[in-house]
Copies of this chain bind each other. A is one copy, B any other.
Amino acid sequence: MQDTLTETTDETTVRMGEIQNSLGFLLRVAQIQTFERFFETLGDYGLKPGEFTVLWVIGLNPGLRQGTIAATLSIKPAHMTKLIGRLAKQGLVARTTPADDRRAVRLTLTDQGRTFVAENKSAFLAQNAFERNQMSPEEMETLIGLLRKLTGREADAS
């Protein structure tokens, strides 16, 4: 990381000023890094973090409406359609149109999908692995708590 920096730098270090403490900036960098880390572990399956999360939620809430998931995970409806399309094509989720409301789409995991989530659950959650950074378990816990507060997701939906 520092290598990447010096590698390309011409002479001096880059001055960043107050932006080093900008929440938006730090979140962006953190997310990029997390993303990269995700691919090191789960990327082989061609799934992205958001997609795995969707699988996860469907697994915990079988028969959930497509739009509900979209709203919960801040995924735009248009995107949701395509995302589910991909997962369906991979045989991981199944779409059902219920008789009582034929506009709706209810989602469930296929057997394959269930297996997939079960097998990769730990790998996905291991993102938190603080060993890789210099964070202590306590710090990581604090960080997660603060992020939950920031995002208004303190209430535990178990």
Partner of A20, one of B29, B33, B35, B157: B157
In the complex, the answer to whether B29 meets A151 with C-beta atoms within 8 Å is yes
Q: For A47, what are the chain B residues with a Cβ–Cβ distance below 8 Å?
A: none
Bound complex: CA A133 to CA B17 (Å) = 25
Jot down 27 A-B pairs with beta carbons below 8 A, ordered by A: A5-B71, A7-B71, A8-B68, A9-B65, A14-B57, A14-B61, A15-B157, A15-B158, A16-B56, A16-B57, A20-B148, A20-B153, A22-B128, A23-B128, A25-B49, A26-B147, A27-B27, A27-B30, A29-B73, A29-B153, A30-B150, A33-B150, A133-B149, A133-B150, A135-B146, A143-B150, A146-B146
Bound complex: CA A60 to CA B53 (Å) = 39
Partner of A10, one of B22, B49, B68, B140: B68
Q: How many copies does the complex hold?
A: 2
Interface string of A7-43 (1 = CB under 8 A from B): 1111001111111111111111111111100100000
Bound complex: CA A4 to CA B77 (Å) = 13
Q: For A9, what are the chain B residues with a Cβ–Cβ distance below 8 Å?
A: 65, 68, 71
Count A-side interface residues using an 8 Å CB cutoff: 72
In the complex, the answer to whether B144 meets A21 with C-beta atoms within 8 Å is yes
Beyond A1-B152, A30-B151, 14 additional contacts (C-beta under 8 Å) are A4-B71, A8-B67, A15-B157, A16-B158, A17-B56, A19-B56, A22-B124, A23-B143, A23-B147, A24-B31, A26-B144, A30-B147, A133-B152, A135-B150
